[in-house]
Amino acid sequence: MPACQTCCQTCQAQLGAIGCFTRPELYDRHRPLFKRYVPLCKRVAEAGREPITLTRSSDPKVRLERFGDRIVTVFNDSPDRRSAVLTLEGLTATTSRDLLTGHPIDWPHGRATIALSPEDLAVLELR
């Protein structure tokens, strides 16, 4: 299952399990998270998951998924901090921005290096 979809489903299940969506005192407490992550999940979902990533990771524990032709999610599927070189194979970009952190990432010669904490996710918008 896609990492982003898993994240959204987990969040919805956890909040729904505690009755969060029917009790304003609970969902108001989490409103800043909803305002940040729901539009991002919607944007990624609307881009549409593509089965061929057109991007390769140098580390098999750093997993990639592509959404549309401009969004790549990068997930560290490991309990350790990992660094990987990402290589574009069929996509072009000179820069990207992590939509979660706002950090820019350069792609000289179609390659970028990314470091992620354990089980961390980056959502890259390619430009």
Read off the pTM.
0.81
Query: Where would I find the H helices in the chain?
Result: 3-17, 24-27, 31-47
Which amino acid, 89?
Answer: E
| 49-126 belongs to CATH 2.60.40.1180 | yes
Work out the percent of the chain whose per-residue pLDDT is above 70.
Answer: 83
- Quick check: 84 and 113 in contact, CB under 8 A? yes
By the 10 Å C-beta count (0-12 exposed, 13-18 middle, 19+ buried), 69 is classed as: middle
Q: What is the mean pLDDT of the chain?
A: 87
Residue-wise pLDDT for 15-36, tens only, equals: 555 566 677 877 788 788 888 8
CA distance 62 to 75: 5
**Where are the domains positioned within the chain?**
3-47, 49-126
CA dihedral 92, 100, 36, 77 (to 10 degrees): 110
Cα 26 to its chain centre, rounded Å, is 26
pLDDT > 80? residue 11 = no
